[in-house]
Structure 1
Amino acid sequence: MKSWVEISGQRLAANYRLLADMVGAETSVMAVVKADAYGHGADPCAVVLAAAGAEWLGVTDAAEGVAVQASLAQAGVQPRMLVMSEALGEEAETVVEHGLTPVVSNVEQMEALARAAGNDASRPFGVHLEVDTGMARQGVSPGGALDDVLGWLSRQSAISLDGVMTHFASAEIAGSHQTSEQRTRFEQAVGQVVAAGLKPAWVHAGNSSTIDNPADAETATGSLPWLVNVARMAGARAMVRSGLALYGYSLPVEREQGYGGDARSRIRSRLQPVMTWKTRVTGVREVEPGTKIGYNGTYTAPHRMRLALLPVGYADGLRRELSATGAHTGGWVMFGEARAALVGRVSMNLTIVDVTGIQSVAVGDEAVVLGAGITADDHARLAGTIPYEILCGVKSTRCLR
């Protein structure tokens, strides 16, 4: 095995419980395991999160939902599952057959689901209606378009409105004007739902940053009052959807220009990264000063160096932006508590690191590519991206520890 990923079930469960405590008893936390649990493995993570108390799991599509559902069945637990990408017509039968809950935004989607469910008024099939409050991605627009959808729901009984939801584009910005506008539109949309005589069981919005953002909190350990109040309008239960924070990371909380309130993260320092990515040294060599290292000789040895070869590269998810040249310091790996800097360019399946100062390193020794001492935040900073992309990009055999 050239590299492998160790997933800490204990840390994953602890992160979930932290988030649940942060939002308080009046709000549920949906555990998002979409995109293969952000690269951590949806099947094992779903089982851990269900055992930790998650009532809802979020998956990408019907296929992922069916796979996760099978793993949960083997474990003897079965939280509800939200298919977060809007259900396509061809997915309707799968969604209905497996009792998944789809996100919808138009009548055509619901008609397909009603047909798949046999238009059975005695057993209406539940959906969650997404409202586009300003992200222009998924969802029905408030106002007339929403009234049309709600009118259709009111005139039939094969499909029931189990939930109403929206997603915020700037949840990590304290005092965000965009988020404030989206909240107002969402509250108005929920008012339209109530006026149509529909009674959803769930009202949900936001992500990990919504929990993290101090501008959204009543107290340092309190609830999300704006969300709870909107849910109460509909006689529903509030829910927030968390993904990244479950796996030990959060985006930095930024400050809207002119905002004078608290902009300190509520959870960042308390989260525990769940993924550790490891590999083993496959070769060790010494090179003389002036030796060109790696493709195009972009790194020149400034002195006699001892180099270790690792069998991981950009094909495995180690970003090429972590490469080191004479003019640019790149990433590093960890041997215990010692750093070994990358030298030269990251190759497709091979990377060279400097172990000149770690003379004990030998063939077969473990190196941490991502974990304690070198985090997804470090990789993201060096690669000019976000930790989501780093975690989702890791391609290696996973094992739950």
Structure 2
Amino acid sequence: MTSWIEVSEQRLTENFRVAQEILARETASSTALLAVIKANAYGHGAGLCAPVLARAGAEWLGVTDAAEGATVRTAMEVAGIAKAQQPRILVMSGHLPVDVPVIVQHSLTPVVWRQQQMAALAEAAGAEPCAVHLEIDSGMSRQGVALGGLRELLRWLANEPRIRLDGVMTHFASAEVAGSEQTLAQRKQFEAAVQLVAEAGLRPTWIHAGNTSMIDNGADGDILAWLHGLAASVGARAMVREGLGLYGYALPLEGLAVVAERAARLRAVVRPVMTWKTRVIGISEVEAGARVGYNGTFTAEKTMRLALLPVGYADGLRRELGCSTWNRGGWVMFHVERAPIVGRVSMNLTTVDVTEIEGVAVGDEVVLLGEGSTAEDHAALAGTISYEILCGMRAPVVLV
């Protein structure tokens, strides 16, 4: 392995329970937490994380598609978790007709918003109706049925016994923005949608919304209680979906600038789960004036000792972390000491400055991302968000 990712089982479990405690404290209820493990658990390995979260008490897991759901179901079986004790699995990003047999075979619960999706599921349903979660487009204009088309869809559902409306959900576009007008407008749209569901005579078990930022955003402190109340009004349970926070991160809160950071409930207490490592494959010394890397963007001002690492942008180490003579770039960690990246990050190789670090040798372990060099550090240099950094790693994953 040129590099590998270590995932801390303890930290993943602790992060899940921290969010559970916040939900319990804010709603004084049985609001459930759906653990989002889509996109291969944000690069952490869905097959490894699913059994950990199941043992931690997750009632639901969220996956990208039917294929990932089948992989997760199999992983839990291999881990020795009896089917009766396994969390339910929500397929969050829709499905095509070709996915229906997989959904039925592995007892997955698809998110739906079109009649055609549900008609295909109805045809494949066995003795038991197929459970679905209906997504409402409350103002994000991405996935879901808008209010204008909801009544017709509900009429169809009310007359289709092979489909059971198990849940109704929406997604907030600006949950990390304290006092967001968009979130307030979406809440009103979702309230109206849930009322239409009740008027159609449908009785979902779950009403859910939100993400890590919805849990974290204490400035909008009533939103969790609001969701609980909305669910209770139709005899359902509330549920909140958490992804990024499970893995130790949360987006910085925006808006109401003075209040926002003080109001973060989750950000300060979760801890990163992933450590991405590699080993030194070469040591060299260059004289002052030597140019390092493609296009010679970095020129040594003095004699330097350089370590060569067998990773690059093909592995997910962003090219933007490279440095030039004029601009500082990213760094890696040798224990508690930083080694700056020098020159450009190449496809499969990266050079770092170990002049001031004693005893570095070929074979030594290096932390590319973890304590001292976080996904947020990488994201700041790459001009992106921690989600993209975590999802972009390409290395074998091991549970520690």
Shorter-chain TM-score: what band?
Answer: over 0.9
The 3 A distance-change label for structure 1 pair 131 and 8 is same
Does 2:113 correspond to 1:105?
yes
In structure 2, the residue corresponding to 1:224 is in which secondary structure?
Answer: helix
Runs of 4+ residues over 3 Å off in structure 1: 259-263
| Residue segments in structure 1 that go unaligned for 5+ positions in a row | none
> How big is the shift at 1:89?
1.7
Deviations 1:102-122 (A, max 9, x none): 00001111100000115x5xx
Does 2:131 correspond to 1:132?
no
The share of aligned pairs that are identical, in percent, is: 59
Q: Distance in 1 between matches of 2:233 and 2:101?
A: 33
- When the two chains are superposed, the root-mean-square deviation of aligned CA atoms in Å is 1.4
Q: Distance in 1 between matches of 2:378 and 2:261?
A: 28
Deviations 1:88-139 (A, max 9, x none): 2221121112110000001111100000115x5xx21110000000001100
Residue matched to 1:378: 377
Which one-letter code corresponds to 1:109 in the other structure?
Q
> How big is the shift at 1:262?
7.5
Q: Distance in 2 between matches of 1:4 and 1:186?
A: 43
1:154 paired residue among 148, 154, 158:
158
In structure 2, the residue corresponding to 1:90 is in which secondary structure?
Answer: helix
Residue matched to 2:197: 193
In structure 1, the residue corresponding to 2:41 is in which secondary structure?
Answer: helix
Task: Kindly report which structure 2 residues correspond to 1:2-401, keeping only aligned pairs within 5 A, or say none.
Answer: 2-24=2-24, 25-77=29-81, 78-118=86-126, 120=127, 123-143=128-148, 145-218=149-222, 224-255=224-255, 264-401=263-400
Deviations 1:275-331 (A, max 9, x none): 000111111111100000000000000111010001110000000000000111000
> How big is the shift at 1:74?
1.9
Q: Distance in 2 between matches of 1:261 and 1:212?
A: 10
Q: Distance in 1 between matches of 2:6 and 2:262?
A: 33
TM-score by length of 1: 0.96
Q: Distance in 2 between matches of 1:205 and 1:388?
A: 19
Which one-letter code corresponds to 1:269 in the other structure?
A
Equivalent pair of 1:319/1:383 in contact (CA under 8 Å): yes
Equivalent pair of 2:253/2:260 in contact (CA under 8 Å): no
Q: Distance in 1 between matches of 2:140 and 2:314?
A: 33
Equivalent pair of 1:176/1:256 in contact (CA under 8 Å): no
Which one-letter code corresponds to 2:250 in the other structure?
S
Q: Count matched residues.
A: 392
Q: Distance in 2 between matches of 1:357 and 1:111?
A: 66
TM-score by length of 2: 0.96
